[in-house]
Chains A and B, each alone.
Chain A
Amino acid sequence: MPTVSVKRDLLFHALGRTYTDEEFDELCFEFGLELDEITSEKDIISREQGDTKAEGASDVILYKIDVPANRYDLLCLEGLVRGLQVFKQKMEAPRYRRVSPASSEPQRLVITEETTAVRPHAVAAVLRNITFTQERYDSFIELQEKLHQNVCRKRTLVAIGTHDLDTISGPFTYTAKPPGDIRFKPLNQAKEYTAQELMSLYKTDSHLRHYLHIIEDEAVYPVIYDSNGIVLSMPPIINGDHSKISLNTKNVFIECTATDLTKAKIVLDMMVTMFCEYCEEPFTVEEAEVVYPDGRTCQYPVLYPLTITLHESTEHIAQLLTKMCLRSEVMSDGEQIEVEIPPTRSDVIHACDIMEDAAMAYGFNNIPRTTPRTYTIANQLPLNKLSELLRQDLAAAGFTEALTFALCSQEDIADKLLKNISETRACRISNPKTAEFQVARTTLLSGLLKTVAANRKMPLPLRLFEISDVVLKDESKDVGARNNRRLCAVYYNKSPGFEVIHGLMDRVMQLLEIKPGQGNGYHIQAADDSTFFPGRCAEIFACGKSIGRLGVLHPDVINRFELTMPCSALDIDIEHFL
Chain B
Amino acid sequence: MSPAQETLLRRVEKVDGGLDSQDVATSLGVDHQAIVGAVKSLLALGDVISADQRSSKHWELTGEGCEIAEQGSHEARVVSSIPEEGMPQSQLMKLAFGKVGFSKAMSNKWIRLDKGHEGGPRIFKTVEHLEDLVRDKLLLVQKGQASQLEEKEKNELKKRKLLSEVTVKSYWITKGSCFSTTITKQETELTPEMIASGSWKEKKFKPYNFEALGVAPDCGHLHPLMKVRTQFRQIFLEMGFTEMPTNNFIESSFWNFDSLFQPQQHPARDQHDTFFLSDPAQAHEFPQDYLERVRKVHSEGGFGSQGYKYDWKIEEAQKNILRTHTTAVSARMLYKLAQQEKFTPVKYFSIDRVFRNETLDATHLAEFHQIEGVVADYGLTLGDLMGILHQFFNKLGITKLRFKPAYNPYTEPSMEVFSYHEGLKKWVEVGNSGMFRPEMLLPMGLPEGVTVIAWGLSLER
Contacts and interface: CB of A to CB of B under 8 A. Distances in A.
A493 to B, nearest CB: 14
Contacts of B103: none
A365 interface: yes
Interface of B: 218-223, 225-226, 230, 233, 236-245, 247-252, 265, 267, 271, 275-286, 301, 304-310, 320, 322, 345-347, 353, 355, 357-360, 366-367, 375, 377, 380-384, 386-388, 390-391, 402-407, 409, 412-415, 435, 437-439, 453
Interface in A347-378: 347, 349-353, 355-356, 359-360, 364-365, 367-372, 374-378
Given A349-B306, A378-B241, A434 B219 contact: no
A378 B236 contact: yes
Contacts of B251: 479
A407 B453 CA distance: 32
27 contacts: A32-B406, A70-B409, A263-B310, A349-B306, A353-B412, A356-B412, A356-B414, A364-B402, A364-B404, A364-B413, A369-B387, A369-B390, A378-B238, A378-B241, A380-B233, A388-B233, A399-B220, A403-B225, A406-B249, A433-B359, A434-B359, A469-B247, A469-B353, A479-B248, A479-B320, A480-B282, A481-B248
B390 to A, nearest CB: 6
A395 B284 contact: no
Contacts of B414: 356
Contacts of B226: 391, 401, 403
A262 B278 contact: no
Contacts of B284: 478, 480
B229 to A, nearest CB: 9
- Chain A contact residues (Cβ within 8 angstroms of B): what range? 35 or more
A263 B310 CA distance: 9
Interface in A369-401: 369-372, 374-381, 383-384, 388, 391-392, 394-401
A104 interface: no
Contacts of A370: 381, 383-384, 387
Nearest to A367: B383
A441 B443 CA distance: 35
B391 A371 contact: yes
A440 interface: yes
A430 interface: yes
Contacts of A407: 275, 322, 355, 366-367
Best-surrounded residue of A356, A377, A392, A469 (most CB of chain B within 10 A) = A356
Contact of B403 (A347, A365, A383, A433): A365
Contact of B380 (A32, A372, A396): A372
A350 B345 contact: no
Contacts of A406: 249, 353, 355, 367
Interface in A442-474: 463, 465, 469, 471, 473
A347 B284 CA distance: 33
Interface of A: 1, 29-32, 34, 68-71, 153, 157, 260-263, 306, 347, 349-353, 355-356, 359-360, 364-365, 367-372, 374-381, 383-384, 388, 391-392, 394-403, 405-407, 427-434, 436-437, 440, 463, 465, 469, 471, 473, 477-483, 485
Contact of A374 (B220, B237, B375): B375
B250 A481 contact: yes
A192 B367 CA distance: 51
Q: What 8 A-B pairs have minimum CB-CB distances, sorted nearest first?
A: A480-B280, A32-B405, A68-B407, A430-B278, A356-B413, A478-B285, A349-B306, A262-B309
Contacts of B308: 262, 349
B358 to A, nearest CB: 7
Contact of B220 (A261, A378, A398): A398
A437 B304 contact: no
Nearest to A349: B306
Contacts of B360: 434, 436
Contacts of B286: 478
B39 to A, nearest CB: 37
Contact of A367 (B236, B240, B366, B382): B382
A29 B453 CA distance: 22
Contact of A391 (B222, B236, B358, B406): B222
A374 B305 contact: no
Contacts of A391: 222, 226
A471 B304 contact: no
Nearest to A372: B384
Nearest to B275: A429
Given A71-B407, A376-B345, A391-B222, A349 B415 contact: no
A427 B279 contact: yes
A403 B222 CA distance: 10
B73 to A, nearest CB: 62
A437 B220 contact: no
Nearest to A428: B279
Contacts of A437: 275, 357, 366
Contacts of B320: 479-481
Contacts of B244: 381
Contacts of A69: 267, 407
Q: Most chain-A Cβ atoms within 10 A of its Cβ — which of B240, B346, B375? A: B240
Given A68-B407, A369-B383, A403 B412 contact: no
Nearest to A34: B404
B242 A374 contact: no
Contact of A350 (B265, B346, B412): B412
Given A364-B382, A434-B359, A437-B366, A372 B279 contact: no
A358 B373 CA distance: 25
A193 B220 CA distance: 72
A433 B358 contact: yes
Nearest to B305: A350
A385 to B, nearest CB: 8
B254 to A, nearest CB: 9
Nearest to A356: B413
A154 to B, nearest CB: 9
A283 B230 CA distance: 58
A465 B353 CA distance: 18
B415 A364 contact: yes
Contacts of B390: 369
A368 B437 CA distance: 22
B241 A376 contact: yes
Contacts of B453: 372
Nearest to B435: A352
Contacts of B233: 380, 384, 388
A519 B227 CA distance: 37
Nearest to B378: A374
Nearest to A472: B250
Contact of B219 (A31, A263, A396): A396
Nearest to B386: A369
Contacts of A399: 220
Nearest to B227: A401
Nearest to A156: B265
Contact of A479 (B278, B283, B345, B409): B283
A395 B341 CA distance: 45
Given A359-B413, A364-B405, A376-B240, A401 B222 contact: yes
Contacts of B276: 429-431
